[in-house]
Structure 1
Amino acid sequence: MSTRMTRRDRRPRSLAAAALAAGLIGASALTLSPAALAAPAPDTPTPFTTPDTDSCPNKTNPPPPIDTSEVPEPGAVAPAPLPVPSSPIGGAELGDCGLVLPDKAPPVPADISATAWTIADLDTGRVLAAKDPHGRYRPASTIKVLLATVALRSLDLNKVVTATQDDANADGTRVGIGPGGHYSNKQLMQALLMCSGNDAAHAIATQLGGEQATIGKMNDLAKRLHALDTRAATPSGLDGPGMSVSAYDLAALFREAMTIPTFAEIVHTQQVDFPGYPADPQVPGDTDRPGFVIANDNRLLFDYDGDLGGKTGYTDDARQTFVTAAERNGHRLVVTLLKGDVLPIRPPEQAARLLDYGFALPLDASVGTLPSATGTSANSGVALASPPPHDTPDATEPRESHHDSWGTITIIGGLVLVIGLVIAGWSLAGRSRR
Structure 2
Amino acid sequence: MRLAPQQWQWQARLLAVPIAALAAATAGAAESPSAAPGGSISVRGSGCASPLHTAEAGPVAFTVTDDTRVFATVYLVDAADTRVYAEIPWLTPGHTLPLATTLAAGRYAVRCVLSDGTIHTTAAFSVTGDTADAVAGYKPLPDLDLTAPVNAYRAWVEAALPSLLASVQTLDADVARGDLAAARSDWLPAHLAYERLGAAYDSFGDFDDQIDATAAGLPGGTADKDWAGLHAIEYGLWHGASAPDLHDQTRALVAAVQGLTADFPSQEIDPGDLPLRAHEILENTLQFQITGSADAGSGTSLATAYANAEGTREVLSVLAPLVDARAPGLTARLDTELGAFQADLTATRDPAGAWTAAAAVTADQRRRLDADLGGLLEDLATVPNLLAPRTAA
Pick the TM interval, shorter chain.
under 0.3
Larger radius of gyration: 1
Larger relative contact order (Cα-Cα within 8 Å, sequence gap ≥ 6): 1
